[in-house]
Structure 1
Amino acid sequence: MPAPHLVRLRMHVEDRQRHRPGQHYLIRLRAPDDYTAQRSYSVASHDEDPLVEFLVERLPGGEVSEFLADVAEVGDVLEMRGPIGRWFRWDVSTPALCLVGGTGVVPAVSMTRAARHLGRADLLRVVAVGRSPDELPYASELAEAGATIAFTRHTADDRPPGAPTVKELTPLLAGVEVAYVCGSARFAQLAEDLLVASGFSPEAIRVERFGVTG
């Protein structure tokens, strides 16, 4: 992983159910006194991968993220529930676009891997936004898969720093029937506004926001 605060976990799940790209799991930690803390994590892997992959961002004071990033070891057994989520899952048959930011790229990674695995890469377009190459997870993998990468504080391939523009996004929406937005609350609002300004129907936008939990 490019940044020290990000950890990639690949986990074996007992009695695993098939998942669709865009779904997530709930990971629950349980203390000896039965106190619990839980957090939702999007799946990065595609369904044929023998392991389920997650990206964990270590958040200061985060009960679950700090344990998964710093304490958990190979062989530990965790409580998990999933796959969860109908609204945000992709059927790998509907032409789609992902507009994702920061660690919100994870569902787009799962969708990209599923599309490539099934030979349907033509159905998916991805626009991934990050501050710089060192801070955007899976940046190289997404770029190799044909994603449009926009860095807000870094020049890349002669593209000046900055968020995606209507001019950049509009051509990518041709033929698209559903758009997936994932990122922080602030990013999600900016992304929704950008899609609408580019002429995309608000009813066809599916949003997954995340933030620090108490």
Structure 2
Amino acid sequence: MAPVWLPARLDERRPETATARTLAFTVPGWPGHLAGQHVDVRLTADDGYQAVRSYSLAAPADGDRVELGVQPVPDGEVSPYLAAELPVGAEVELRGPLGNWFVWRPEQSAPVLLVAGGSGVVPLVAMVRAHRRIAARSRFHLLYSVRSPEDVWYGGLLADGDPRLDVRIVYTRRAPAGDGRAPGRITADDLDRGVTGLEPASPIYVCGPTAFVEAVADRLTELGRDPATIRTERFG
């Protein structure tokens, strides 16, 4: 059955960076979802005008609680309002879950490489949280590209020392002191280190801006990874 629009009440707004926010909603009748899926959000103005945008789910299924990651887009019609103005207790509408290809399922046992660009980390963190929730023994490796240390989402979660999660952050404009890597985009060498330990059929999930995703997918293919194992989600 196709997803239907459901009322969603904003319960909490948490900062992730200076501008990015996690929004937690209560959605009565929510059917559940898989890590990596997304939803449509619909806003309706007093005059009846409606705007719809898609956002990634930031956490695994948890009853009627749904968490979204929102990065405001300059001059955007919806994201700045969601990130900073929608009052706690107010309602919007959600439709989902959407997307069945870019997902991690609990029964998957192979090691996984996650590659994120900026806010593309949101659905990948949902996978990390789902993996952690079931105490899966497989290893996750996250290669995360951001402009500067201030742009890192979920810093506490990614630095908490989970032995099954390897995290490497690549800074493209300004790295913290002692990082040991000059700022710059993800390279073939970065990815080559990331695929170490993967099995031939291990899935690789890549999410971020379109140009980032295409460049990473091309480099992974050049490194000999089977294109069928590379799953991509892009925006912008």
Indicate whether the TM-score tops 0.5: yes
Post-superposition Cα deviations, 1:55-101, rounded to whole Å, max 9, x if no partner, equal 11111221111221232111111111111111111113143211111
Give the alignment partner of residue 111 of structure 1, picking from 124, 127, 133.
Answer: 127
- Secondary structure of the equivalent of 2:191? helix
Give the alignment partner of residue 183 of structure 1, picking from 204, 208, 214.
Answer: 208
AA partner of residue 105 (structure 1): V
Give the alignment partner of residue 152 of structure 1, picking from 155, 163, 172.
Answer: 172
Change (3 A) 1:9 1:148: same
- Secondary structure of the equivalent of 1:41? strand
Q: Which runs of 5+ in 1 are unaligned?
A: none
Taking structure 2 as the reference length, the TM-score comes to 0.82
Quote how far apart the aligned CAs of 1:113 are: 0.6
CA separation in 1, counterparts of 2:57 and 2:137? 18
CA separation in 2, counterparts of 1:16 and 1:208? 23
Taking only aligned residues, the RMSD between alpha carbons, in angstroms, comes to: 1.9
CA separation in 2, counterparts of 1:60 and 1:165? 29
Change (3 A) 1:164 1:48: same
1:82 matched residue in structure 2: 96
Q: Give the percent of matched residue pairs that are identical in Structure 1 and Structure 2.
A: 37
1:98–1:108 Cα contact (<8 Å) kept: yes
Quote how far apart the aligned CAs of 1:196 are: 1.3
Taking structure 1 as the reference length, the TM-score comes to 0.90
- Secondary structure of the equivalent of 2:91? coil
AA partner of residue 217 (structure 2): E
Give the alignment partner of residue 172 of structure 1, picking from 176, 194, 198.
Answer: 194
1:182–1:209 Cα contact (<8 Å) kept: yes
- Secondary structure of the equivalent of 2:138? helix
Structure 1 residue 98 corresponds to structure 2 residue 120? no
2:29 matched residue in structure 1: 15
Displaced runs of 4+ in structure 1, greater than 4 A?
none
Which structure has the highest helix share of the two?
Answer: 1
Q: Which runs of 5+ in 2 are unaligned?
A: 1-14
Moved more, 63-72 or 141-150: 141-150
Post-superposition Cα deviations, 1:144-185, rounded to whole Å, max 9, x if no partner, equal 343121111233532332233333322432215211111001
Structure 1 residue 163 corresponds to structure 2 residue 185? yes
Q: Figure out how many residues of one structure are paired with residues of the other and give that number.
A: 211
CA separation in 2, counterparts of 1:30 and 1:195? 42
Structure 1 residue 135 corresponds to structure 2 residue 155? no
